[in-house]
């Protein structure tokens, strides 16, 4: 019987017998490797092309995805998305991208790839008819994210893969929000899975990292070639920290989900909230689609305050426990204003089309005790609606 996810998260990809019995994988902090003769190596020649600690992580991530190849790891999620484009796209070819993806993905494809003559088109991938129209002959690659950031809009992965395959296009799914623990894009027909391991996979706000996983040996080799050519690799220390974080991924995700469900239901009951976006809510538009293809909903949610932008801004400045910052998927709860922070680099018209309104607030619900989280949000809601701004005053007083 294949081992279970929880076991692979702790054991896959590394055998202590290979390293003096060290229970934890060593950090191979070395640039180069001794050669017995010219090009006679033990599998490693130079750490840009490969490093054993990074290999342990790549094997573990591949195993967790149920993939035929190990993962390929990168310095950041954006490095992974860069390599995806350079390896798979040529001048004149078209890439179709979901309209509510990570802001940095839009910035990269709009500026860098368009400069090299790649055609970029955005579409609401949760709208299958619109997606069918966008994926024409000449479309080489489709990049989608589900649930999408920050609206949590859910795309039917299998349906989009069927449409793309009919046109000869590859599909890459950014699975950062759910990870393989909750969602397996390769099993749903995707060709590639992309991660920012910075988020849930490492999970402790300690590293940046990225990964690509595929079943296809040819795609794997092409991406590996560009990874080495571009030099956008993960360092052995970051790989080691990510291996440590991964061990508790299933446990963390279960609690992230439980806490986020409680926060979402709390927000839904508050008359000051116009709408709550969380796939775990029965009333959420993407709930049924999410339940069909994913086994959990993780910790990301967003909501709109009736009182609008200024109150939303005061809310973010009034939290005391929850951190106002730009990351997600880690143990610490984080609150973000997408329009001015994570998605500020996205053109305003694209933002509006994607439903990223000025009053939208995103929370990455962490692993603090739910009572403390709700107490903090409660006092911040009251302060923001009373026109106060608790936190800035407190910071100024101690600075």
Ligand X SMILES: *Cc1c(COP(=O)(O)O)cnc(C)c1O
Q: Does 227 bind ligand X (CB under 6 A)?
A: no
Contact of 243 with 8, CB cutoff 8 Å:
no
Question: Quick check: is 252 catalytic?
Answer: no
- Please state the closest distance from residue 144 (CB atom) to ligand X, in A: 11
Task: Tell me the window of 3-11, 73-81, 159-167, 343-351 that interacts with ligand X (CB under 6 A).
Answer: 73-81
Q: Which is nearer to ligand X, 299 or 380 (CB)?
A: 299
- Please state the closest distance from residue 233 (CB atom) to ligand X, in A: 14
**Interacting residues with ligand X between 190 and 209 (CB under 6 A):** 196, 198-199, 208
Q: Which is nearer to ligand X, 44 or 177 (CB)?
A: 177
Q: Does 245 bind ligand X (CB under 6 A)?
A: no
Binding string, 97-126, against ligand X, x = CB under 6 A? -----x-xx---------------------
Q: Which is nearer to ligand X, 179 or 214 (CB)?
A: 179
Contact of 50 with 56, CB cutoff 8 Å:
no
Q: Does 53 bind ligand X (CB under 6 A)?
A: no
Contact of 194 with 172, CB cutoff 8 Å:
yes
User: Which one of 99, 124, 156, 174 is the catalytic residue?
Assistant: 174
- Please state the closest distance from residue 381 (CB atom) to ligand X, in A: 26
Contact of 45 with 38, CB cutoff 8 Å:
no
**Which position has the token pair 């800035």?**
392
Question: Quick check: is 199 catalytic?
Answer: yes
* The only residue of 13, 98, 185, 210 in contact with ligand X, by rule CB under 6 A: 210
Q: What is d(CA 58, CA 227) in angstroms, rounded to the nearest whole number?
A: 13
Q: Does 250 bind ligand X (CB under 6 A)?
A: no
Contact of 351 with 343, CB cutoff 8 Å:
yes
Q: What is d(CA 46, CA 110) in angstroms, rounded to the nearest whole number?
A: 34
Contact of 32 with 51, CB cutoff 8 Å:
no
- Please state the closest distance from residue 310 (CB atom) to ligand X, in A: 27
The closest residue (CB) to ligand X is 77
**Which position has the token pair 């092309």?**
49
- Please state the closest distance from residue 127 (CB atom) to ligand X, in A: 20
Q: Which is nearer to ligand X, 73 or 263 (CB)?
A: 73
Of 63, 55, 8, 7, nearest to 27 by C-alpha is: 55
* Phi/psi of residue 368, nearest 5 degrees: -65, 165
Q: What is d(CA 178, CA 182) in angstroms, rounded to the nearest whole number?
A: 5
* Phi/psi of residue 394, nearest 5 degrees: -65, -40
**Interacting residues with ligand X between 274 and 313 (CB under 6 A):** none
Of 338, 331, 332, nearest to 316 by C-alpha is: 338
Q: How many residues bind ligand X (CB under 6 A)?
A: 16
Task: Give 87's Cβ-side CA count (13 Å radius).
Answer: 25
Which H, E and C letters describe 238-254, residue by residue? HHHHHHHHHCCHHHHHH
Provide long-range contacts, Cβ within 8 A and 24+ apart, for 380-386: 380/315, 380/318, 380/319, 380/320, 380/322, 381/270, 381/272, 381/315, 383/314, 383/315, 383/318, 384/305, 384/307, 384/311, 384/312, 384/314, 384/315, 384/318, 385/272, 385/307, 385/311
Question: Quick check: is 102 catalytic?
Answer: yes
Contact of 174 with 143, CB cutoff 8 Å:
yes
Q: Which is nearer to ligand X, 104 or 189 (CB)?
A: 104
Task: Tell me the window of 76-84, 121-129, 132-140, 225-233 that interacts with ligand X (CB under 6 A).
Answer: 76-84
Question: Quick check: is 48 catalytic?
Answer: yes
Q: Which two tokens stand for residue 197?
A: 């391991």
- Please state the closest distance from residue 39 (CB atom) to ligand X, in A: 34
User: Which one of 48, 222, 247, 275 is the catalytic residue?
Assistant: 48
- Please state the closest distance from residue 248 (CB atom) to ligand X, in A: 19
**Interacting residues with ligand X between 156 and 185 (CB under 6 A):** 174, 176
Q: Which is nearer to ligand X, 76 or 155 (CB)?
A: 76
Q: What is d(CA 95, CA 193) in angstroms, rounded to the nearest whole number?
A: 16
- Please state the closest distance from residue 383 (CB atom) to ligand X, in A: 29
Element holding 15 (H helix, E strand): none
User: Which one of 140, 184, 199, 391 is the catalytic residue?
Assistant: 199
Q: Which is nearer to ligand X, 149 or 311 (CB)?
A: 149
Q: What is d(CA 328, CA 338) in angstroms, rounded to the nearest whole number?
A: 12
Q: Does 76 bind ligand X (CB under 6 A)?
A: yes
Chain contacts with ligand X (rule: CB under 6 A): 76-78, 102, 104-105, 145, 149, 174, 176, 196, 198-199, 208, 210, 328
Residue numbers annotated as active site: 48, 102, 174, 199
């Amino acid at each position: 019987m294949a081992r279970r996810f929880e076991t692979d998260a702790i054991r896959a990809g590394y055998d202590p017998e290979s390293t003096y019995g060290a229970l934890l994988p060593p950090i191979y902090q070395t640039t180069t490797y001794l050669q017995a003769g010219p090009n006679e190596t033990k599998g490693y020649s130079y750490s840009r092309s490969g490093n054993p600690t990074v290999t342990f992580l790549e094997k573990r991530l591949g195993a967790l995805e149920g993939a035929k190849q190990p993962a390929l790891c990168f310095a950041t999620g954006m490095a992974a998305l860069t390599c995806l484009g350079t390896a798979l796209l040529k001048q004149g070819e078209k890439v179709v991208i979901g309209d509510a993806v990570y802001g940095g993905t839009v910035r990269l494809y709009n500026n860098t790839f368009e400069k090299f003559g790649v055609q970029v088109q955005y579409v609401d991938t949760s709208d299958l008819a619109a997606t069918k129209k966008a994926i024409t002959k000449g479309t080489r690659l489709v990049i989608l994210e589900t649930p999408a950031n920050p609206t949590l809009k859910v795309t039917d992965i299998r349906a989009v893969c069927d449409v793309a395959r009919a046109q000869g296009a590859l599909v890459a799914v950014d699975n950062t929000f759910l990870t393989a623990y909750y969602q397996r894009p390769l099993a749903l027909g995707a060709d590639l899975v992309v991660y920012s391991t910075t988020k849930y996979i490492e999970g402790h706000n300690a590293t940046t990292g990225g990964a690509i996983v595929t079943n296809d040996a040819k795609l794997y080799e092409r991406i590996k070639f560009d990874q080495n050519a571009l030099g956008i690799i993960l360092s052995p220390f970051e790989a080691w920290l990510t291996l440590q974080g991964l061990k508790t991924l299933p446990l963390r995700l279960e609690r992230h989900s439980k806490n986020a469900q409680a926060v979402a239901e709390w927000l839904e009951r508050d008359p000051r909230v116009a709408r709550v976006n969380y796939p775990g809510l029965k009333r959420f538009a993407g709930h049924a689609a999410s339940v069909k293809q994913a086994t959990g909903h993780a910790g990301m949610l967003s909501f709109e305050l009736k009182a609008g932008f200024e109150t939303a801004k005061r809310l973010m400045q009034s939290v005391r426990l929850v951190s106002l910052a730009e990351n997600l998927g880690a143990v610490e709860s984080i609150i973000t204003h997408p329009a001015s922070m994570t998605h500020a680099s996205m053109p305003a018209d694209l933002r509006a089309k994607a439903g990223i309104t000025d009053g939208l607030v995103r929370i990455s619900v962490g692993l603090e005790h739910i009572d403390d989280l709700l107490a903090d949000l409660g006092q911040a809601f009251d302060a923001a609606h009373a026109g106060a701004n608790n936190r800035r005053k407190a910071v100024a007083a101690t600075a």
